[in-house]
Structure 1
Amino acid sequence: MPRFGLASAAQRLRELLNGPRLLVPLGFAERAPLDFRFLGRALIQAALVGLAAGLAGAAFFAALEYLSRLLLEDLAGYVPVRARGEQFAASGHGTPFRPWLLVLIPALGGLGAGLVARWVPEVRGGGADPTIEAFHYRGGMLRRRLIWAKPLASLFTLGTGGAGGREGPTMLIGGAIGSSVARALGLSARERRILLVAGVAAGISAVFRTPLGAALLAVELLYRDGFESDALIPSVLSSVTAYSVVISIFGESTLFTHAPRFPFVPAHLPLYGLLALVVASVAVGFLAVFGATRRGFSKLPLPEWLRPALGGLALGILATAAITLLGAGTTQPGQGLGILGGGYGAVQAAISGASWLPLGWNGVLLLVGLALLKIFASSLTIGSGGSAGDFAPSLAIGGLLGGAFGRAAQLLLHDPRIDPGAFALVGMGAFYAGIAHVPLAALVLVCELAGNYDLLVPLMLALGISFVVLRKKGIYEAQVATLADSPVHRDAIMLDMLRTAHVSELMVSGRPFASFSPGSSAQDVIDKVGDADWQNVFPVVDAEQRLLGLVTSEAAHVLAQQADDARWTIVADMMQPAVWVRQDDDLHTATKALVESGLRELPVVDAERRVIGFLDEADIAKLHLSSATRAEAGPG
């Protein structure tokens, strides 16, 4: 949250009370009761967004599979490794491996993505940061052209082997659909933001097939510490709808195949804790490489639209060299190792084994090597401006490291109860939870991938450690720390603070003050106001000390400059109507009274309207400043 002083805090209070009526988030339920009509509309709209995003995600997945098979397999002779949930269209695999084409094809794809980005810059990279920025700073507005531009740029990047994921693009596509539906229906900014998040959930669910995890990820991704509770229920419905659409078309299956159960062994918890530390350490390196690559490409003396082509060329060289050198002992030439694409096929091998993955320490070293190669491959693709997500590479790196760790533990401890597949799944969750600050979503995502909650306790431990270690680092620059740091909720939190505090907490009482009767002379007013060292407002009272009106120090100073008028003026002529607050009023009511009256100070009266103290605008501003400072500092 930006730092500000007492004067700006007071001005912000005035703007807040003078501005349009604010819709307080449902998180402040005590003062913002649930509007079931609003919720009903939101659910219907979320289902509509989920349907559209599910169809768009299915079409994108099908087009991407066909394009990658045509260019990489049928043309270049590349043989990718796939997870179970990625099996889609058949290919003859009869084309001989052509390494020179595998070098060139990603470069051509990068060129196509760069040309699209020349006209629609938001298609660069994944989909998280533009979506987060749209939520916090643009009222949930994403341009409609992203609905076609993002899939087109991502088809160029991923269809030619770009080392990124599908989830990032479909996240942005779904968000753009949600934003467009909201605008077409003429919805408010609040509803538009909710549908944006619901669209993100639907986009993730459409390709990852984890409906609850996708919904939680969509609401948790916006903050480093917190989640968007308003959008949770619509996101769940949108995610379920998109998931239902996709499995109706492609059939029901989880992304990975794995052992049916993972028995919980308490003695293995220290191993999971150590895995989390290893994964978090590698994640720090990944973020450093990713950031350095992006900065390096940004400094190249090349047109921005040409940089993804250079990144694609470097990726093609890296992947071809790795396939040639590391894959010398595989079953067929051109055998992929998960360096291109999202890398889920390599994770599948880490979970359940594969014919190309050696046993023993050679397998451990190969998995570690693939994880490191994936770091550089994904950095080249995304860091150069290619249109691909960071979600899949992050999961792949964590899964490969976890699989290697599990195999190493098995070899060292000779414990048959150690399942490398369990460590691979936990490694996936720990890596992404740490760099994206989404521990709850990652926990549920992995449980959905596993098909059960056997790994719940190891995941809680590993994700907690990773989250704490990577607390100060993250991959999404647009994330804000908490709800209090988001412009969306900052005003709502201020209003919540005003509604929970009362005048009695801030009023000045028991201090002598000057007052006047209606018949007091103007000269008496001028003298007493001149002697006052703290009052700005002076009560006018009757014989029983009941408040009748007010005289301000400004009025007295003006009158002092007009000696002729002051001679004939009495208080009844110069006083203004009485404005007051009671000590049991909340500060929201008091601030409205201050703003509407234009006064900097108000008298506080009892039941008989006798003045018992004063409330100063500056004290309210100090309270707001103190609350803002605490929110900025965070818990503790």
Structure 2
Amino acid sequence: MAGHREPLDEEQRALHDSWDSIALTMGRVALGAVLVWGVCSGLRHGVHATSDTLLTFVADSGRWWAPLALVGVLVVGGLARGLLNRRPGWSQVASDGVDVALHNYHITYEDPADDPRPRYSLPAFRLVLRKAAATLLTLGTGASGGLEGPSVLLGESLGAGLARLTRARSEHTLRTCQLACISAAVATLLNAPFAAALFAIEVVYGNRIVYRKLSYCLFAGIIAYVLNNRFLGFRPIFMAPPHGHTYTLAEYGLTALVAVAVSAPVALAFGLAMKHTRRVVEHVHPVLRGAAGSLCTAAVALGLFYGVGMDPRHVLGMGEHTVARLLAGEGGALSAWWFLLLIVVGKLLTTGFTLQSGGSAGMLIPSMVLGGVSGAATAQVLAATGLVSLDAGLFVVVGIASALVAVVGVPLAAIALVLEVFGSAYGPPAVLACGLTYVLTLRLRVYKEQPRETPAAALGDAGAVPASS
């Protein structure tokens, strides 16, 4: 039996060669988690305070000039981003941020020597300040996207900066700090520490679970979770209606149908939206590209606002408003499948224009919104046939999980998110949907730097267990 055990490798020994090193690493992780929580909480508050106020005013004020004010704020924010992106170092903070974070993480694998200097030579705390400012100028002005992508880069950069500040001389310790701080950042926003830890591992290492690093990610995630609850109060990102733990075979079959109907189409649509929106704005002068993208974003939102009376919050901002209303079972326009499909198309376009014009916003929450809305639309179409009686909330939850797997490739994190946010009753259909989605979308990849297979350079990590092929 001993022959089947993998020997301790260099990184495993580096992380666990003494209790002193473990204690020091735990101290770094704890300090990093607190720092990340403070930065990400402040950024979240700033974005919500500005964006929610603006979009609510446009939707509810009834003033004729309110939509024009939205256009003005979006364009000014885009112009400011365009001017900043021309300055040295600012181009790194454009777009989602996850690819930059992954590149900065994996850069220390390129040299076989245990040397953290390749990452230390890159910006850390300055990158945090730039990313936070760019995100406020993007999401704070009402553009479409999520906070999770920017927060991944914030966490990675804060972890690297803290490791350098505390004079960590090993790249193994550096990577542990980076990974744990990514976990803390996601846990701060989702209030789901287990899902955040799994997300950090899966998005960085693809189809491997590095258990010793996972333990540090869990530690960082729970610190962020405790701080959230202690100082900000427990606020789950979404609230689903109660559901029984027992499902019929028909419900499992429909769950699989939603996974097939939502997962691959959403991922492919995301890719197509990014491709075509980039073509629209790429010929604009770089300084004006942000303003042009913002103008296109506003045109989509206001076209739907005046055309079908759609609340701009359905296609602008982070989209949590839409999912919350779907889970609450709100009727009206949200009970019409064609209206939901318009939301999907509009959200794809506004997110594409935001990201491809240099906006700092993430794709994680938009993908969840698109999945939830697509799941609800599927439920409405099936209900219209009169053949089945459906729980629309179940379809929304399954759609959220499926889209997250399809776009980001994190099946375990998606399942954990469902369990932590929506409750264990939604677990069985989520497991089925996420497993099926992962198989269907394994070859699809949104983040270029994300490994969907085990990176050969990283095979020496501690406690790594490759997935079977």
Contact 2:36 2:158 in 1 (8 A): yes
For 2:102, the equivalent position in structure 1 comes to 132
Contact 2:73 2:141 in 1 (8 A): yes
Contact 1:276 1:427 in 2 (8 A): yes
| CA displacement 1:534-559 (0-9 Å, x = unmatched) | xxxxxxxxxxxxxxxxxxxxxxxxxx
Q: Does 1:24 align with 2:10?
A: yes
Q: Does 1:367 align with 2:340?
A: yes
- Equivalent residues in 2 for 1:2-401, closer than 5 Å: 24-26=10-12, 35-69=18-52, 71-74=54-57, 77-79=58-60, 98-119=66-87, 120-138=90-108, 139=116, 140-141=119-120, 142-187=123-168, 188-267=170-249, 268-293=251-276, 295-296=278-279, 299-303=282-286, 305-327=287-309, 335-354=311-330, 356-359=332-335, 363-401=336-374
For 1:458, the equivalent position in structure 2 comes to 429
CA separation in 2, counterparts of 1:439 and 1:34? 32
**Identity over aligned pairs, percent:** 25
CA separation in 2, counterparts of 1:61 and 1:325? 32
CA separation in 1, counterparts of 2:81 and 2:228? 26
For 2:113, the equivalent position in structure 1 comes to none
Q: 1:436 to 1:95 in 2, by over 3 A?
A: same
CA separation in 2, counterparts of 1:60 and 1:348? 22
Name the aligned partner's letter for residue 294 of structure 2. Answer: G
Following superposition, the deviation at residue 182 of structure 1 comes to: 0.5
Following superposition, the deviation at residue 438 of structure 1 comes to: 0.7
Unaligned runs of at least 5 residues, structure 1? 1-21, 80-92, 329-334, 497-630
From 389, 402, 409, the equivalent of 2:375 is 402
Following superposition, the deviation at residue 178 of structure 1 comes to: 1.1
From 467, 470, 474, the equivalent of 2:445 is 474
How many residue pairs get aligned? The number is 445
Name the aligned partner's letter for residue 443 of structure 1. Answer: I
Name the aligned partner's letter for residue 118 of structure 1. Answer: R
From 402, 415, 432, the equivalent of 1:430 is 402
For 2:112, the equivalent position in structure 1 comes to none
Contact 2:326 2:334 in 1 (8 A): no
Q: 1:183 to 1:32 in 2, by over 3 A?
A: closer
| CA displacement 1:258-307 (0-9 Å, x = unmatched) | 2123443132111111111111232243233244136426741512x432
Name the aligned partner's letter for residue 341 of structure 2. Answer: V
CA separation in 2, counterparts of 1:460 and 1:345? 26
Following superposition, the deviation at residue 118 of structure 1 comes to: 2.7
Following superposition, the deviation at residue 400 of structure 1 comes to: 0.4
Name the aligned partner's letter for residue 403 of structure 1. Answer: A
Identify which of structures 1 and 2 has the higher relative contact order when contacts are C-alpha pairs closer than 8 Å and 6+ apart.
2
CA separation in 1, counterparts of 2:15 and 2:172? 14
Mean CA deviation greater in 369-378 or 262-271: 262-271
Following superposition, the deviation at residue 170 of structure 1 comes to: 1.7
Tell me the TM-score normalized by structure 2: 0.87
Q: 1:146 to 1:383 in 2, by over 3 A?
A: same
For 2:412, the equivalent position in structure 1 comes to 440
SS in structure 2 of the partner of residue 254 of structure 1: coil
| CA displacement 1:343-390 (0-9 Å, x = unmatched) | 11111222222254354xxx2221122112111111111122110001
Contact 1:337 1:370 in 2 (8 A): no
| CA displacement 1:29-71 (0-9 Å, x = unmatched) | 8x99664433322222111111111111111111112222454
Q: 1:111 to 1:265 in 2, by over 3 A?
A: same
CA RMSD in angstroms comes to 2.7
CA separation in 2, counterparts of 1:259 and 1:364? 21
Answer with 1 or 2: which has the greater Rg.
1
CA separation in 1, counterparts of 2:317 and 2:278? 23
| CA displacement 1:136-167 (0-9 Å, x = unmatched) | 11455552212211111001100111110011
Name the aligned partner's letter for residue 480 of structure 1. Answer: P
Following superposition, the deviation at residue 229 of structure 1 comes to: 3.2
Following superposition, the deviation at residue 96 of structure 1 comes to: 5.7
Contact 1:439 1:464 in 2 (8 A): yes
- Equivalent residues in 2 for 1:525-564, closer than 5 Å: none
CA separation in 2, counterparts of 1:409 and 1:62? 39
CA separation in 2, counterparts of 1:278 and 1:94? 37
SS in structure 1 of the partner of residue 312 of structure 2: coil
Name the aligned partner's letter for residue 140 of structure 2. Answer: G
SS in structure 2 of the partner of residue 255 of structure 1: coil
Following superposition, the deviation at residue 212 of structure 1 comes to: 1.1
Q: 1:64 to 1:95 in 2, by over 3 A?
A: farther
Name the aligned partner's letter for residue 438 of structure 2. Answer: F
Unaligned runs of at least 5 residues, structure 2? 1-7, 109-115
Contact 1:277 1:466 in 2 (8 A): yes
Q: 1:411 to 1:144 in 2, by over 3 A?
A: same
Following superposition, the deviation at residue 239 of structure 1 comes to: 1.3
Following superposition, the deviation at residue 176 of structure 1 comes to: 1.4
CA separation in 1, counterparts of 2:193 and 2:15? 29
Q: 1:460 to 1:394 in 2, by over 3 A?
A: same
CA separation in 2, counterparts of 1:262 and 1:112? 50
| CA displacement 1:376-420 (0-9 Å, x = unmatched) | 11111112211000111100000101112223334435554x311
Name the aligned partner's letter for residue 129 of structure 1. Answer: D
CA separation in 1, counterparts of 2:54 and 2:267? 34
Name the aligned partner's letter for residue 109 of structure 1. Answer: G
For 1:560, the equivalent position in structure 2 comes to none
Name the aligned partner's letter for residue 325 of structure 1. Answer: G
